[in-house]
């Protein structure tokens, strides 16, 4: 028995070591921050690695070989989903149990989510605005460090986030959505100790709260949404939804119409609205025939795109073999389309030859990707203002790897008089854009003459697999990156790495279609 326990303990510690080795410095900083409410700050300040955090959690009996859920929750919160399998979990399994086992408070989740959306430029501006509140010799390392300092000084607490509201309103009003979502939830949190005690007792009897929880339960563990209408709290029926998202993931919601509306409000705060009468248009431009080459296999991609995006509820329109001027004219036509007004989003897929930051028309003239996207900014296309606009570009972005048949490298030589573009200049500047590139700057994009391109085939496959699971588009594109990166050409010498760029302010989640995937 002793030998068996030693074996289990050794395996457990090996798991923790392996997880630690796969976490970078930023991940360790995020874990420290999320554990701030669980561990003494003085002990966390001495942490140098993930192993140090694991030791502290084990010392406080938060983590052991028989119960690894807290670590699974932490890895889930920092989006290290691939490490969950080392603990025997999946992303879906963690989500399913968050409502009953989650320990990271709503307040801590809100701060972490906020830090993830603060860019370096925003951070500099926030520090400038707060310079009178900060120590003169304090060296800024990250948004998390700033939040911890504000908490130490007592100007930021779970009951007072005014300082964050003020600076976010001046630096980037979009950040206020995360704070407002937290405040909306907090307005319904039990404030009376007697009420919290009664509910805690009930939840323990129901087996929702572990017996070792203090009777004075943590405020964030129970959200009151309709106590006045129900008379008393314990008269309500508690329901636990494993799909609870974002800041509401660990809350116990009372089962009323008002509460369901509130739940959907929380979801809408962090996701784009995708429940309109029409999903949107999907424009596909497929250039196959050029003067000196033909992009064989591209029609296979178009077939897949048409099937998958139709399945997702979009109206797909396909254009074949367009010159550079044709492409510009098409963009101008779609820019002024009044039908966008009643639709949730807009998607554009362009399949062609290309160079850095541009795609070719069939006349072998380049069209800037930035210019194509500029037709759909809020100013140029007000019907799509604040709506998600997704562009998927299947084209080479250079000729670093040259193959005559199987890649989109069969491109015409660019005359010296033609304008050159940079892929970095294609990254969208305005909010609500996503640009999915099939390859990184300077490289070719691989295409099979019969099966189509690696990128488009993987994109369609992952959409069919992951949309029914409720995954957002960025998570799906991450899976596409991993899938394409694993592939190797028959010669064993060619690989490919897609590259997404985005300015989304919320999650983009396709509603799950009622029909099964098309293939």
- What token pair was written down for 50? 């993930």
DSSP 166-206: HHHHHH-GGGHHHHHHHHHHHTTB---HHHHHHHHHHHHHT
Q: Report which of 489, 400, 479 is spatially closest to residue 453, judged by C-alpha positions.
A: 489
Report CA-CA distances (Å) from 448 to 296, 322, 491.
8, 22, 13
- Residue 131, class by beta-carbon neighbours within 10 Å (0-12 exposed, 13-18 middle, 19+ buried)? exposed
- What token pair was written down for 44? 């966390």
**Residue count of the chain:** 519
Whole-angstrom Cα Rg for the chain: 26
Strand partners, 502: 434
Provide the CA 365 distance to its chain's centre, in angstroms: 36
Report the alpha-carbon distance of residue 212 to residue 518 in Å, rounded: 50
Pairing mode, strands 354-355 and 366-368? unpaired
Is 396 part of the annotated catalytic residue set? yes
Report the alpha-carbon distance of residue 283 to residue 286 in Å, rounded: 10
Is 443 part of the annotated catalytic residue set? no
Question: Which of 168, 252, 396, 443 is flagged as catalytic?
Answer: 396
Question: Which of 99, 188, 353, 375 is flagged as catalytic?
Answer: 353
Strand partners, 384: none
Strand partners, 453: 447
Report CA-CA distances (Å) from 439 to 119, 173, 346, 495, 499.
25, 33, 22, 10, 6
3-state secondary structure string, 105-144? CHHHHHHHHHHHCCCHHHHHHHHHHCCCCCCCCCCCCCHH
Report the alpha-carbon distance of residue 410 to residue 405 in Å, rounded: 7
Pairing mode, strands 253-254 and 238-239? antiparallel
Which residues in 202-361 belong to E strands, given as ranges? 238-239, 253-254, 278-286, 315-320, 343-351, 354-355, 358-360
Enumerate the active-site residues: 353, 396
């Amino acid at each position: 028995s002793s030998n068996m326990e030693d074996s289990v303990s050794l395996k457990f510690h090996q798991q923790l070591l392996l997880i630690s080795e796969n976490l970078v410095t930023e991940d360790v900083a995020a874990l420290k921050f999320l554990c701030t409410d669980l561990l003494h700050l003085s002990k966390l300040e001495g942490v140098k690695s993930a192993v140090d955090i694991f030791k502290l959690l084990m010392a406080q009996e938060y983590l052991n070989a028989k119960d690894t859920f807290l670590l699974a929750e932490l890895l889930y919160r920092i989006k290290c989903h691939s490490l969950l399998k080392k603990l025997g979990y999946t992303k879906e399994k963690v989500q399913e149990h968050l409502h009953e086992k989650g320990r990271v408070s709503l307040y801590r989740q809100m701060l972490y989510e906020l830090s993830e959306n603060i860019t370096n430029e925003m951070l500099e501006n926030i520090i400038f605005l707060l310079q009178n509140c900060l120590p003169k010799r304090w060296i800024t390392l990250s948004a998390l460090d700033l939040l911890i300092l504000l908490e130490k000084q007592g100007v930021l607490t779970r009951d007072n986030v005014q300082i964050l509201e003020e600076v976010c309103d001046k630096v980037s009003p979009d950040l206020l959505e995360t704070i407002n979502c937290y405040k909306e939830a907090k307005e319904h949190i039990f404030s009376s100790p007697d009420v919290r005690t009664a509910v805690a007792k009930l939840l323990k009897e129901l087996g929702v709260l572990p017996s070792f929880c203090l009777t004075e339960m943590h405020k964030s563990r129970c959200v009151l949404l309709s106590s006045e209408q129900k008379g008393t709290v314990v008269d309500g029926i508690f329901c636990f939804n494993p799909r609870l998202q974002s800041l509401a993931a660990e809350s116990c919601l009372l089962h009323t119409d008002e509460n369901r509306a509130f739940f959907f409000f929380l979801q809408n705060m962090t996701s784009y609205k995708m429940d309109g009468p029409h999903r949107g248009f999907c424009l596909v431009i497929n250039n196959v025939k050029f003067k000196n080459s033909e992009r064989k296999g591209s029609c296979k991609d178009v077939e897949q795109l048409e099937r998958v995006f139709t399945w997702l509820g979009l109206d797909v329109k396909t254009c074949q073999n367009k010159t550079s001027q044709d492409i510009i004219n098409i963009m101008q036509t779609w820019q002024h389309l009044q039908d966008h007004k009643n639709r949730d989003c807009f998607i554009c897929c362009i399949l062609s030859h290309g160079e850095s930051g541009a795609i070719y028309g069939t006349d072998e003239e380049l069209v800037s990707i930035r210019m194509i996207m500029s037709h759909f900014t809020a100013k140029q296309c007000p019907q799509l203002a604040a709506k998600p606009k997704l562009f998927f570009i299947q084209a080479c972005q250079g000729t670093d790897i040259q193959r005559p048949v199987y890649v989109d490298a069969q491109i015409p030589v660019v005359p010296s008089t033609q304008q050159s573009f940079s892929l970095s200049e294609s990254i969208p500047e305005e909010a609500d854009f996503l640009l999915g590139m099939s390859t990184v700057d300077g490289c070719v994009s691989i295409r099979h003459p019969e099966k189509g391109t690696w990128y488009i085939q993987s994109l369609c496959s992952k959409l069919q697999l992951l949309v029914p699971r409720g995954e957002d588009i960025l998570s799906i594109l991450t899976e596409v990156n991993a899938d394409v990166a694993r592939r190797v050409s028959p010669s064993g010498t060619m690989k490919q790495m897609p590259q997404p760029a985005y300015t989304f302010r919320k999650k983009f989640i396709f509603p799950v279609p009622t029909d099964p995937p098309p293939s």
